[in-house]
Amino acid sequence: MIRCLTAFALAALLCLTIAPALQAQENGPLQAALQENAAQIAKPSRRTIGPVIDALADSGLDGMQQVLEIWEARNLWQRKEDGLFFEGKKGPDRTIILTDLDSGAELAPVPSDAVKNLKPNSGVRGLIASALVRFQLLDPNIARRSDALEAIGRNPDPSQLTPLRASIDDEPDPALKAQKRRLERLLTIAYGDDDAERVAAIEEMSGDLGVDVRATLNPLLATTLRVAPEGKVAPNTNIAYTVKPGSEDISIAEAYDMLAKAKELPPRAAPGDILAALNDNIVDGSVAGIPVGDLNNDATRNRAYAALIESGTVRPAVTEAQISEALDGAVFYAQYAENSPVVTDAAQKALSRIETKVGFNTSLDLGLDALSLASIYFLAAIGLAITFGVMGVINMAHGEFIMMGAYTGYVVQQVIPNHTISILVAIPLAFAVTFGAGVAMERLVIRWLYNRPLETLLATFGISIALQQLAKNIFGTQARPLTAPGWLDGAWAMNDVVSISYIRIAIFVLALIFLAFFLFLMKRTRLGLETRAVTQNPRMAASMGINPGRVNMLTFGLGSGIAGIAGVAIGLYAKVTSEMGSDYIVQSFMTVVVGGVGNIWGTLLGATMIGTLQKGIEWLNPSNTLAAQTYMIVFIIIFIQFRPRGIIALKGRAAGD
**457-466: pLDDT as tens digits:** 889 999 999 9
List of long-range contacts for 547-552, beta carbons under 8 Å, 24+ apart: 549/447, 551/527, 552/391, 552/442, 552/446, 552/447, 552/450
Name, of 9-18, 23-32, 121-130, 606-615, the range with top average pLDDT: 606-615
What's the pLDDT at 543? 83
Cβ pair 282, 292 in contact under 8 A? yes
* pLDDT tens digit sequence for 461-484: 999 999 999 999 999 888 888 888
Residue 392 Ramachandran class (φ > 0 left, ψ -120 to 50 alpha, else beta): left
Ranges 116-120, 305-309, 356-360: which has the least confidence: 305-309
* CB crowding 248-266: b at 16 or more within 10 Å, else e: ebbebeebbbbbbeeeebe
On the question of pLDDT at 652 being above 70, the answer is: no
User: pLDDT at residue 155 above 50?
Assistant: yes
Contact (Cβ atoms closer than 8 angstroms) between residue 67 and residue 56 = yes
Mean pLDDT of 222-242: 85
Q: CB neighbours (10 Å) of residue 560?
A: 32
Assess whether pLDDT exceeds 50 at residue 6: no
Q: Sorting pLDDT into bands at 50, 70 and 90, what band is 317?
A: low
Q: Which of 560, 483, 479, 558 minimizes the C-alpha distance to 520?
A: 558
Enumerate residues 6+ apart whose C-beta is below 8 A from 231: 329, 330, 331
Q: Which residues contact 326 (CB under 8 A, 6 or more apart)?
A: 256, 259, 260, 263, 265
Element (H, E) at 258: helix 252-263
Closest CA to 567 of 471, 500, 655: 471
- Partners of residue 99 on adjacent β-strands: 87, 106
- The mean-pLDDT minimum among 209-213, 300-304, 412-416, 623-627 falls in 623-627
Alpha-carbon torsion angle 357, 359, 365, 369, nearest 10: -170
Quick one: average pLDDT of 265-280? 73
With b for 16 or more beta-carbon neighbours within 10 A and e for fewer, the 498-533 pattern comes to bebbebbbbbbebbeebbeebeebbeeeeebebbbb
DSSP state of 286: E
Fold (CATH) for 358-655: ABC transporter involved in vitamin B12 uptake, BtuC (1.10.3470)
What is the mean predicted confidence (pLDDT) over 376-399? 80
Question: Which phi and psi (to 5°) does residue 482 adopt?
Answer: -120, 100
The residue-averaged pLDDT of 185-192 equals: 90
- pLDDT the model gives residue 440: 93
Per-residue confidence band for 61, with pLDDT thresholds at 50, 70 and 90: confident
* pLDDT score of 389: 63
- The pLDDT score that the predictor gives to residue 462 is 92
Classify residue 485 by its DSSP letter: P
Q: Is the pLDDT of residue 403 over 90?
A: yes
Looking at the predicted structure, is the pLDDT value of residue 28 above 90? no
> pLDDT category, 330, cuts 50, 70, 90?
confident
Which range has highest mean pLDDT (159-173, 386-400, 635-649)? 159-173
pLDDT of the residue at 598:
64
DSSP-assigned letter for residue 168: H
In angstroms, rounded to a whole number, what is the distance separating the alpha carbons of residues 133 and 318?
Answer: 57
CA distance 515 to 589: 18
Q: Helix 526-536 to helix 502-524 angle, to the nearest 10 degrees?
A: 80
Looking at the predicted structure, is the pLDDT value of residue 425 above 90?
A: yes
Q: What φ, ψ does residue 111 adopt, rounded to 5°?
A: -60, 145
Question: 85 near 96, Cβ under 8 Å?
Answer: no
Handedness of CA 529, 535, 540, 542 (dihedral sign): positive
Q: What is the mean pLDDT of the chain?
A: 82
Q: Are 314 and 277 in contact (CB under 8 A)?
A: yes
**DSSP code per residue over 554-582:** HHHHHHHHHHHHHHHHHHTTS-B-TTTTH
Q: What is the pLDDT of residue 269?
A: 66
pLDDT for residue 656 is more than 70: no
Domain ranges of the chain: 2-126, 137-221, 223-268+318-336, 271-314, 358-655
Q: Which pTM was predicted?
A: 0.66
Provide the pLDDT for residue 7.
44
Half-sphere exposure of 90 (CA within 13 A, CB side): 3
Q: How confident is the model at residue 540 (pLDDT cuts 50, 70, 90)?
A: confident
pLDDT number for residue 649? 62
b (16+ CB within 10 A) / e for 69-105 = bbbbeebbbbbeeeebbbbbeeeeeeebbbbbbbeee
Instruction: Determine the 3-state secondary structure of 156 from DSSP.
Output: coil
> Mean of the pLDDT values across residues 81-99?
88
CA–CA distance, 213 with 207 (Å, rounded to integer): 10
The amino acid that residue 63 corresponds to is G
User: Cβ of 7: how many Cβ atoms within 10 Å?
Assistant: 10
* Rounded distance between C-alpha atoms, residue 445 and residue 466, angstroms: 14
> Contact, 430 vs 437, CB < 8 A?
no
Whose CA is closest to 72, among 151, 176, 153? 151
